[in-house]
Amino acid sequence: MSDAAGGGGEKTYDPTPKKLEDARKKGDIAKSNEVTAAAVYAGMLLALTLVGAAGLQKAGGVMAVFLDHPEKLEGRLLGPGGGELSARVVGAVSFALAPLLMLPLLAALTSLFAQRAIVVSGEKLSPKLSRISPLANAKNKYGPTGLVEFAKSFTKLVAISATAYFVLASEISEIVGMAAASPAGVAAQFGVMLQRLLIGVTIIAAFIAFADFQWQRFDHFRKLKMSYQEVKDENKEVEGDPHFKSKRRQRAQQIVSGQMLQEVPTADVIIVNPTHVSVALKWTREKGSAPVCVAKGTDEIALRIRELAAEAGVPIHRDVATARALYDMVDIGVEIPAVHYKAVAAAIRFADEMRRKARARGYGAKGRAHDSQDL
């Protein structure tokens, strides 16, 4: 049986927003660990650049005391005040190397936030037999996902190993010279070598991260693809959900209200009651037809209609009974019924009179907005 015929069928439909949101709540998201790794490398490179040779020399100088005269420190560290001395040494080294620890951590957290990958879900913590299933594990290991992971790991190993080889090979003379250098000099030279290595590793990691992020998004969508039956079942579920019904109704009202309010400045008259209901009418005299309702609303929308009418110079006529009746009986874009011709004609005569007086006072063709209480 075909997919469209109603069976479960092959999963060929893209996941719906609801499917993606449900998966996210379960902790199933498109996340690339390579992006985080690249961010950590970049954070280490930035930290090493900020710390520089001076910071490493300072840390190396402090540690040199332990390396040069360990026998002299035994008594001081184990005797009275030894705890304070140890704390001072650790504090000095930590202060010098703090950026090397904090910046990579901040970079990792930033990458997770950028991927929207920080999700707290009990679903991931609950035990599942599928996680220890040999069949499922074999499918992951030898399927498309496993092959991509193997190719990615192999590429990283080869690329980073080659980078390390070329960096160390170019620094061989400096490495030999470090044997005669002071601890502070060794630390500084080691920092320069590590910085060069991190530049190459970061560039490689950035390329791999970009490719892996695209793959993770594609693979995430592939795993969440839906069959025709799943799409149909979800639509039924959403249609019956009062929350979604309310959101759709609200959105539809917003769209209709936005389009409707654009027609208010073109109206000939606004009939109001007096603050809760507004009905905007437009009459095309050349056609010889009845006036048409171009906008209507209650409460906030009614107020907005009056505001737009005032800005556009459309006269406002107060008629409680007619305003309420037109709001209940006439839809947008529909002519008014004959039973209201007399009341509407009075409103249009009032509007024409207001425009005539406005033109006489120099307010232009439209004039300015008047209320029937102005008379």
Residue 116 has pLDDT above 80, yes or no: no
Average pLDDT score, the chain? 77
Pairing status of strand 269-273 against strand 316-318 = parallel
Q: What is the CATH number of domain 262-374?
A: 3.40.1690.10
For residue 152, pLDDT beyond 80: yes
Please say if the pLDDT value at position 369 is more than 60. Answer: no
The confidence score (pLDDT) of residue 42 equals 92
Give the number of other CB atoms < 10 A from CB of residue 296: 23
With 50 as the cut, is the pLDDT of residue 76 above it? yes
Q: From CA 79, how far away is CA 315, in angstroms rounded? A: 96
Lowest mean pLDDT among 60-69, 180-189, 337-346: 60-69
Q: Supply the pLDDT for residue 302.
A: 87
Top-confidence residue, 212 or 22: 212
Q: How would residue 255 be classed by pLDDT, with cut points 50, 70 and 90? A: low
Is the Cβ–Cβ distance between 348 and 291 less than 8 Å?
A: yes
Which two tokens mark 57?
């020399």
Confidence at 133, pLDDT banded by 50, 70, 90: low
Question: pLDDT band for position 100 (50/70/90)?
Answer: confident
Picking from 50-54, 174-178, 195-199, which range would have the lowest pLDDT averaged per residue? 50-54
State mean pLDDT over 205-218.
91
Which pLDDT value is given to residue 4?
42
Encode 233-270: b = buried (16+ Cβ within 10 Å), e = exposed.
Answer: ebeeeeeeeeeeeeeeeeeeeeeebeebbebbbebbbb
Please tell me the predicted confidence (pLDDT) of residue 154: 92
Domain with CATH 3.40.1690.10 in the chain: 262-374
pLDDT at 337: 83
CA-CA distance, 93 to 73, in Å (whole number)? Answer: 17
Q: Tell whether the model's pLDDT for residue 336 goes beyond 90.
A: no
Length in residues, the chain: 375
Output the CA–CA distances (angstroms, integers) from residue 23 to 20, 29, 143, 213, in the order listed. 5, 7, 21, 18
Q: Check if the beta carbon of residue 282 is closer than 8 Å to that of residue 266.
A: yes
Mean pLDDT of 188-207: 86
Q: Point out which residues pair with 13 in neighbouring strands.
A: 226
Q: What's the average model confidence in pLDDT over 172-201?
A: 78
Question: Interior CA angle at 116 toward 115 and 120, to 5°?
Answer: 135
| pLDDT confidence bin for 1, thresholds 50/70/90 | very low
Confidence (pLDDT) at 35? 92
pLDDT tens for 33-48 read 899 999 999 998 888 8
Question: What is the pLDDT confidence band of residue 260, given thresholds at 50, 70 and 90?
Answer: confident
E runs forming strands in the chain: 269-273, 277-282, 292-298, 316-318
pLDDT score for 368? 45
- Mean pLDDT of the region 177-195: 74
Give the integer Cα–Cα distance in Å for 66 and 136. Answer: 54
Identify which has the larger pLDDT, 332 or 87: 332
Q: Which of 368, 256, 267, 334 is nearest to 301 (CA)?
A: 256
Say what the pLDDT of residue 351 is.
85
pLDDT of residue 256: 59
For residue 374, name the pLDDT band (cuts at 50, 70, 90): very low
Question: In 3-state terms, what secondary structure has residue 2?
Answer: coil
Task: Write down the pLDDT at residue 206.
Answer: 93
Residue 264 or 188, more confident: 264
Residue 224 pLDDT exceeds 50: yes
Q: What is the pLDDT of residue 143?
A: 72
